[in-house]
Amino acid sequence: MRIGFIGLGSMGAGMAGNLVKAGHDVTVWNRSPDAAAPLAEQGAAVADTAVKAVANVEVLHSMLANDAAVREVLLDSGVLDALPKGAVHVNHATISVALARELVAAHADRGLGYVAAPVFGRPAVAAAGGLNIVAAGSPEALATVSPLLALLGQKVWPMGDDPVRANIVKIGGNFLIGAAIESMAEASALTRAHGVSAKDFLEVMGGSLFASPIYTIYGGLIAEEKYSPAGFKMSLGFKDIGLARAAAEAERVPMPFASVMHDTLLEALGAGDGDLDWAGMARVAAARARLDDAKR
């Protein structure tokens, strides 16, 4: 299949690589050209503009960082206008509900298929083809891209024919991940203040009451204070909690804990920690409790 792939960050590079390995004719583009070099070595074609990356494709995958990047690359630069009629666009980005609705209309106006397929997983999982993918779109569009999604994920979770449904599931899921991290951060600050290390505490929790990937993965990062290199940056976490708050306000849904996480992440960004993994919320909790203060 002729595939375009736009956005080769920490997640997109591994995803595009899996499509290349499966033998598809993949053309890639990234705003930072150096990111495309490893894909070229694997056999992908590299376009020098986003529009050229989609000129003759049957399916376009995009994995962009935020609303602004999606709007700039897909709408303002003319990518959707350049896609052949009948092509299907698979959008893996975590975006706002408002932009999600705009994109549904934009694709329909151009005679394009559209599937929202945000993913859960970290970069190593993406490279291994082990993502969980939440997908929504018309049955025809989903049928076209399902074999490709199967190469990218261990499981595809169908959410119906309205792409916006997949986006709100992703927003809600990232809120839950952030809430777990914030809870571990505060609880481990509490135990540290009473002489029990974060490692000892989180090993108990991750091996008993909270034996799940989120608690074991992020609990391990907190226990080791391993926040760099980031699998998911604080700055992206701040963006996603903002998406949850905006979606909640639109439907008058109170989410008090989203405000707590907003403040924690804003504090981290203010301290210059935006590029650290968002497990680093534990640093904020420890600093608030003055656990690393030499006088304590």
Residues noted as catalytic: 170
Q: How far apart are CA 6 and CA 282, in angstroms?
A: 33
Centre a 10 Å sphere on the Cβ of residue 48 and count the other Cβ atoms it contains.
10
CA dist 95 and 194 (Å) reads 41
Cα distances (angstroms) measured from residue 291 to each of 36, 89, 179, 296: 43, 49, 21, 7
Q: Can you say whether the dihedral through the CA atoms of 280, 286, 290, 294 is positive or negative?
A: negative
Q: Which two tokens stand for residue 59?
A: 């399916």
Those residues with Cβ within 8 angstroms of residue 153's Cβ, 6 or more apart along the chain or in another chain: 119, 121, 129, 130, 131, 132, 133
